[in-house]
């Protein structure tokens, strides 16, 4: 039996820095997006990412119905956009704050993202309040190395990460 206090766990996890991503989708279920730091690589053969989404998220129904998404890794200077996608801002206002285009799946690709992974959801698992999505990359784009600094979420705030040669 687990006796770990929820707040203790959350406070400890706040000390684990992670890249910031804006995950987007579009299709029959509608256009939606959310900010996520719970994203990581699963394997490069086939190229697959893991994305966690809260089932209470305003984007959840659209992601589930569409079965496709784009993981847009954001950089320094995009904190305001991250705050929009991480809060309770209505979906249309989130997308109005940036420039978007699409690749093969039709999911919105953020112009100026450090990297964008256009994916099909190929599997899922449910744990607690979240679904873990296994997302196979169909296409990707990325900025050249050294171009653009990173952004991490650490200690409940955004922090720029500079590139050094």
Q: What is the span of the domain harbouring residue 56?
A: 31-70+117-141
Provide the CA 72 distance to its chain's centre, in angstroms.
Answer: 6
- Residue 89 covered by a domain: no
Mean pLDDT by 10 residues, the chain (165 residues): 87 91 98 97 97 97 98 94 94 97 98 97 97 98 88 92 74
pLDDT score of 2: 78
pLDDT score of 144: 87
- Residue 77 covered by a domain: no
User: What is this structure's pTM?
Assistant: 0.94
Strands (E), the chain: 18-19, 21-25, 32-36, 39-44, 47-54, 68-73, 100-102, 108-110, 115-127, 130-142, 150-154, 157-161
If one counts the domains in the chain, the total is: 1
d(CA 70, CA 119): 6
- Domain with residue 124: its CATH number is 2.30.110.10
């Amino acid at each position: 039996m687990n006796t770990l206090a929820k707040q203790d766990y959350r406070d400890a996890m706040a000390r684990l820095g992670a890249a910031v991503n804006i995950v987007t989708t579009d299709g029959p279920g509608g256009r939606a997006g959310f900010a996520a730091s719970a994203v990581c690589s699963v394997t490069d053969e086939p190229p697959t990412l893991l994305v966690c989404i809260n089932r209470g998220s305003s984007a959840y129904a659209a992601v589930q119905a569409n079965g496709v998404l784009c993981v847009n890794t954001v950089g320094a200077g995009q904190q305001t956009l991250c705050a929009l996608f991480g809060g309770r801002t209505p979906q249309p206002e989130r997308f109005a704050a940036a420039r978007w285009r699409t690749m093969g799946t039709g999911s919105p690709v953020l112009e100026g993202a450090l990297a964008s992974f256009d994916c099909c959801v190929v599997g899922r698992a449910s744990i607690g309040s979240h679904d873990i999505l296994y997302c196979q990359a169909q296409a990707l784009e990325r900025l050249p190395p050294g171009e653009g600094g990173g952004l991490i979420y650490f200690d409940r705030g955004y922090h720029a990460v500079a590139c050094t040669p």
